[in-house]
Structure 1
Amino acid sequence: MNVGFIGTGTMGSLLIEALIASGALTPAQIAVSNRTFAKAQALADRYSGMKAECTNVGVARGCDIVFLCVKPHEFKKVVDDIKPAVRPDQLIVSITSPVLISHLEGELACKVAKVIPSITNFVWSGASLCIYGKTVREDDKSRLEDLLAHISEPLRIDESFTRIVSDLSSCGPAFISFLLEQFVDAAVKETGIGREDAMKVASAMLLGTGLLLTEGGLTMSQVQERVAVPGGITAKALQLLRNETDGVFNLLIRTTHDKFREDLNKVTHAFTSEEVNGQ
């Protein structure tokens, strides 16, 4: 199986590196292209056997699965590039949340899917959120999910929940890291503990908490209940957090959804304006 990546930015490169490191793919199975060819070539130079293509169509012609790892405003151009080269048996996979399955199905004569990866996939953890088009068969889904299973837990979702599951899975690591950083910075400022020491303790705590919520089988409420003795230090601090953060995450979700709708409108316009103008 040959796999292509159009776009070698942050997430494209992360997926490539993780899939190679996990043994899911060898460099010789991978072809890459990028808007700036030198970046694609630099990545290929790091992995003997990987092929850097000068054009997007070059990647599309030779691969069974092609990941489109580009920003929303670049998507229509990339789709136009590869449209003449795609084959009915190919699977084209977008990793860009505002690009809908219907956008791709309306343009490409092949099977289409959407996968929302996470930075946690770099350490072979977290989820890969999978959405499939109408013509994708069960064996196609299994082939893609078997590939993703090397670096994540593939989860099938309904496209209508793309944004919120992206918030939890893909944006979540940034949100949680921000909160942990605030916790560490406050610890340093208030007590004088070394920042490196505080970060080691906090990072180990975060890893352990994640294991309690997964392998340990505890719910988030149960973790709080087991740590917070009634009338104790943790209980008092938790009440402070409840008071001070009330509604914050509702605002956060509204913010990400507003931005998603803005990007979705732009992508939809890009895909439909040409049809209107060209009739």
Structure 2
Amino acid sequence: MKVAFIGTGSMGSLLIEAFLRSGALYPHNLHVSNRSKSKAEMLALRHPGLHVAASNAEAALGSDIVFICVKPHHFPEVIAEIRSVLLETQLLISITSPVLISVLEEQVPAKIAKIIPSITHSVHSGASLCIYGERVQPEDRLLLEQLMSSISRPTPIKESETRIASDISSCGPAFVSFIVQQWAKAAAQMTGISMPEALSLSAEMLLGTGRLLTEGGLTPEQLQRRVAVPGGVTAEGLAILEERLEGVFLSLIEATQRKHEADLAKLAALFDAVKPAANSSVSPDHGDLESDRPEML
């Protein structure tokens, strides 16, 4: 199976490394391209056998699965470059939430899916959000979810749920780590514990709490009741959190939703600028990939 990765930045390289460590893919399966070719070549040095393509179109040509791992505003240019080499049998995967499946289906003949990953996949953990276009068949879903299960827990969702689900699964590690950082900083300032020690304890606590909420089968309410004795220290702390955090997460969701809506509007305008002409076909033309080649992204 040939798998292409267009974009080897932070998330693209994370996914490539995670798939290779899991054994789900091997270097010879992978064809990668990147605007800065040196980044792709560094991956190839670490993983002999990995193919560095001369262009995005070359990477996509003949690949069974094409992951596009670039920033949202680069998508229209990448799609414009690879459109002519894509086939109806190929799977094109977006890993960014603002790029709508319906927009990509208008642009290319390939089968479209959206998979929103998380930094937690680097340790083969966390949920990967899976959203499928109308052309995706059951066997395609099975293939993608088997691949993602090697590094995560694939979780099918509706595209309308993408933003809020991403807030939790993809943005969540940053949000939670910020809370842990502030908690550890306060502990170090007010007591004799060191910051590294407080962070280490917090990390172990998070790991164990996650397992209690998954493998342990506890709900958040049950977990709180198990720990918080009425009138005890934990109950006092929970009362402070309930008082001070009221409305915080509603504000967080409102902020991320506003940014998402703004990104959708910007991308719609960018895609309109590179939309195929009405009288042209999106059927592939495997001509000379080296002629009139736009800059890689």
Which bin holds the TM-score, normalised by the shorter protein?
Answer: over 0.9
Q: Report the counterpart of residue 167 of structure 1 in structure 2.
A: 167
Q: Does 2:219 align with 1:234?
A: no
Tell me by how many angstroms 1:273 deviates: 3.7
* Residue 137 of structure 2: aligned partner: 137
Alpha-carbon distance in 1 for matches of 2:105, 2:276: 17
Deviates more, 1:113-122 or 1:38-47: 38-47
Residue 243 of structure 2 corresponds to which residue in structure 1? 243
- Consecutive unaligned residues in structure 2, runs of 5 or more: 280-297
Question: Per chain length, whose mean CA-contact separation is higher, i.e. which structure has more relative contact order (CA < 8 Å, sep 6+)?
Answer: 2
C-alpha contact 2:145 2:154 (8 A) present in aligned 1: yes
SS of the equivalent of 1:62 reads coil
Partner of 1:217: 217
The one-letter code sitting in structure 2 at the alignment partner of 1:161 is E
* Alpha-carbon distance, 1:62 to partner: 3.2
| TM-score, L = length of structure 1 | 0.97
**Contact residue 107 and residue 276 of structure 2 kept, 8 A:** no
Say whether residues 1:79 and 2:79 are aligned partners.
Answer: yes
CA RMSD across the alignment: 1.3
Post-superposition Cα deviations, 1:166-210, rounded to whole Å, max 9, x if no partner, equal 001000011000101111111111102122221111111110000
Which residue of the partner structure matches residue 208 of structure 2? Answer: 208
Higher helix share: 1
Identity %: 52
Q: In the TM superposition, what is the alpha-carbon distance from 1:110 to its structure 2 partner? A: 1.1
Partner of 2:170, secondary structure, is helix
1:74–1:41 distance in 2 versus 1, CA, 3 Å? same
Query: Given the superposition, is the C-alpha separation of residues 212 and 163 from structure 1 closer, same or farther in structure 2, using an over 3 Å criterion?
Result: same
* Corresponding position: 1:146 with 2:168: no
| Residue 275 of structure 1, CA deviation | 4.4
Measure the CA separation in 2 of the matches of 1:80 and 1:43.
26
Could you say which residue in structure 2 is the equivalent of 1:120?
Answer: 120
Shift of 1:40: 1.0
Matches of 1:277 and 1:147, distance apart in 2: 35
- What TM-score, normalized by structure 2, do the two folds share? 0.92
Partner of 2:5, secondary structure, is strand
1:63 positional shift? 1.2
| Displacement after TM superposition at 1:103 (Å) | 1.1
Name the SS of the counterpart of 1:87 in structure 2: coil
User: Could you say which residue in structure 1 is the equivalent of 2:54?
Assistant: 54
- Letter paired with 2:139: D
Distance of 2:240 and 2:196 partners within structure 1:
26
* Whole-angstrom distance in 1 between the partners of 2:50 and 2:274: 35
Unaligned runs of 5+ in 1: none
1:125 positional shift: 0.7
